Amino acid sequence: MHPSTLVQIENSSPAGGRAARGRLPAWLRKPAVHHESVMELKRELRALNLHTVCESARCPNMQECFHRGQATFMILGNLCTRGCGFCSVPKGNPLKREFVLDPLEPDNTARQAAAMGLRYVVITSVNRDDLEDGGSRHFAKTVEAVRRELPGATVEVLTPDFEGNLDAVARVLDAGPHVFNHNMETVARLYSRVRPQANYRQSLEVLRFARQHRPSALTKSGLMVGLGESGAEVRELLRDLREEGATDVATIGQYLQPTRRNLPVAKYVTPAEFDSYRDFGLSLGFRMVFSGPFVRSSYMADLVAHEAGHAA
């Protein structure tokens, strides 16, 4: 089944509207389900001192993904050196002890991925601007460990911008991921509010470099809508991803405020608007545009890569 079809089954209201605190439109209501398998997976992760962005970023799909046996590993610890307005991953002072890298993390990630029987492994990380290499060596070691442990699996990396350090990007690419993902997150105008320590052109450059450096890897990027951007700005970003980043796959999802400390939602984008972004992206030549309210960059990543033509 086409991944966007899966989302639209549960999100079928045609109405649209401005965000109102505490009230979600019908297409953003998910039934609260709790599965014992979710608790079990959390216990396994904690036992190995592993983290997932699913938990740390309070992803609304967590119950569903964990129940399906899917999770996105978040490496380089559970504390981020940046203060992006949309993100609830814990931030901290890099001088603190908690920032010391766990040397066992690469092998433990590989071991846990194998224990979960994953055929498609997604690895992301916090930003580690405190480290000279941005954590790229540790990132590469993790990709290598997973490829060793699971030689038949597809590996997708969702990387930071490494502050534009292309040697660091190359290091991760040389470890052999099949899919390289770097999220733009939002339109150029909103960077100073949403990603104050990042740079729109720099992120495009990371994607363009990845395409050139490892042409066999699928390139992918994601953005959130509902942060105050206009439709024209989203279309401009999609154009930039195709022209300047030469990106194959785009994911577009609704921003949801993870905690009261994060940026408020400016608008709930309607399913029809998500469809129009998808159609526009496809007209630009993306191999796949996954656009819908609950889409996140790693949501159904295996199906998305398959749709984009990646042969697992």
**Burial status of residue 283 (CB atoms within 10 A of its CB: 0-12, 13-18, 19 or more):** exposed
Kindly state whether residue 299 participates in binding ligand SF4, applying the rule CB under 6 A: yes
CB closer to ligand SF4 out of 68 and 201: 68
User: x/- site string to ligand SF4, residues 23 to 62, per CB under 6 A?
Assistant: ------------------------------xx----x-xx
Kindly state whether residue 154 participates in binding ligand SF4, applying the rule CB under 6 A: no
- List the structure tokens of 300: 């159904």
Say how many residues touch ligand SF4, by CB under 6 A.
12
Degrees, nearest 5: CA angle 7-9-13 = 100
Other C-beta atoms lying within 10 Å of the C-beta of residue 79: 20
Kindly state whether residue 65 participates in binding ligand SF4, applying the rule CB under 6 A: yes
CB closer to ligand SF4 out of 61 and 247: 61
Instruction: Figure out which of the listed residues 128, 182, 195, 296 binds ligand SF4, where binding follows CB under 6 A.
Output: 296
**Burial status of residue 197 (CB atoms within 10 A of its CB: 0-12, 13-18, 19 or more):** middle
Between the two ends of the chain, the Cα-to-Cα distance in Å is 17
State the minimum distance, in angstroms, from the CB of residue 63 to ligand SF4: 8
Say how far apart CA 312 and CA 310 lie, in whole Å. 6
**Burial status of residue 80 (CB atoms within 10 A of its CB: 0-12, 13-18, 19 or more):** buried
Cβ atoms of 136 and 171 closer than 8 Å: yes
CB closer to ligand SF4 out of 30 and 211: 30
CB closer to ligand SF4 out of 131 and 153: 153
CB closer to ligand SF4 out of 273 and 302: 302
State the minimum distance, in angstroms, from the CB of residue 48 to ligand SF4: 17
Kindly state whether residue 72 participates in binding ligand SF4, applying the rule CB under 6 A: yes
**Burial status of residue 33 (CB atoms within 10 A of its CB: 0-12, 13-18, 19 or more):** exposed
For residue 52, give the DSSP letter: B
Instruction: Figure out which of the listed residues 4, 70, 81, 159 binds ligand SF4, where binding follows CB under 6 A.
Output: 70
Q: How far is CA 47 from CA 52, 70, 98, 108, 163, in A?
A: 13, 18, 17, 10, 32
State the minimum distance, in angstroms, from the CB of residue 7 to ligand SF4: 11
Cβ atoms of 158 and 183 closer than 8 Å: yes
CB closer to ligand SF4 out of 27 and 299: 299
Instruction: Figure out which of the listed residues 7, 41, 71, 123 binds ligand SF4, where binding follows CB under 6 A.
Output: 71
Which region, judged by CB under 6 A, interacts with ligand SF4, from 34-42, 64-72, 154-162, 235-243? 64-72
Q: Which residue ranges make up the site for ligand SF4 (CB under 6 A)?
A: 53-54, 59, 61-62, 65, 70-72, 296, 298-299
